[in-house]
Amino acid sequence: MGRRTEPKCKQCRREGEKLYLKGDKCFTPKCPVSRRPFKPGMHGPTSRTRPTPFGIQLREKQKAKNTYGILETQFRNYFEKATRQVGNTGSFLVQMLEMRLDNVVYIRVNGKKVNIASYQTKPGDVITLTARISKSKLFSEETARLEKYQAPSWLHLDAAALTGKVLAKPQGEELKQNFDPKLIVEFYSR
């Protein structure tokens, strides 16, 4: 399975906005997007290209892929599944991307071990951590951060028990992202 190995901050700079791929670093003044708000590379600071409509659509697609950390083939498969459903293809695409297990949380779903990051969660799924992981020193430091975390309304998080539950599919404002799904649909529809 392939994965992206280039620096995460370089991906953000290429898009010209924060994609929050580095977690807390993106909220500090040390964020490379804040320090160097131009494209990476030798011609970045002086580049004055005027994007075509195709280029704008391509950048939106790349921004979505970078945000969710998936490669082209997987992204294309999600798009094809979204087009098979009746309704707004863009919102179905974002909904499927949001419902990926690696986007929600890791490890056990309904009491069964799941190690597939692209697993599609469904409303009613209970997500827990294995006992070994929840007792590890590394995760005990994260527990304090979990108590402060405000989960989206379509998820329920019990920080004390280290469990979560998918209440519903994300809808409306919950699907707001830093990319425009309509441009992605136009890109693939050409």
Find the CATH number of the domain harbouring 24: 1.10.1050.10
Cα(94)–Cα(179) distance, rounded to whole angstroms?
10
> Per the domain annotation, does 90 fall within a domain?
no
Structure tokens at 112: 């069964």
On whether the CB atoms of residues 78 and 96 are closer than 8 A, the answer is: yes
149, part of any domain: yes
The answer to whether residue 2 is domain-embedded is yes
Would 82 be classed as within a structural domain? no
pLDDT per residue as tens digits for the range 94-104:
888 888 877 66
Give CA–CA dist 77/83, Å, rounded: 10
How many domains does the chain contain in total?
2
Residue 190 and residue 95 in contact, taking contact as beta carbons nearer than 8 Å:
no
83 band by pLDDT with thresholds 50, 70 and 90: very high
- Non-local (6+) Cβ contacts of 118 within 8 A are 70, 74, 100, 101, 102
Query: What is the residue range of 106's domain?
Result: 101-166
Whole-number average pLDDT of the chain: 80
Residue 177 counted as domain residue: no
The domain that holds 162 is classified in CATH as: 3.10.290.10
Residue 75 lies in a domain: no
Q: What is the mean pLDDT of residues 122-142?
A: 75
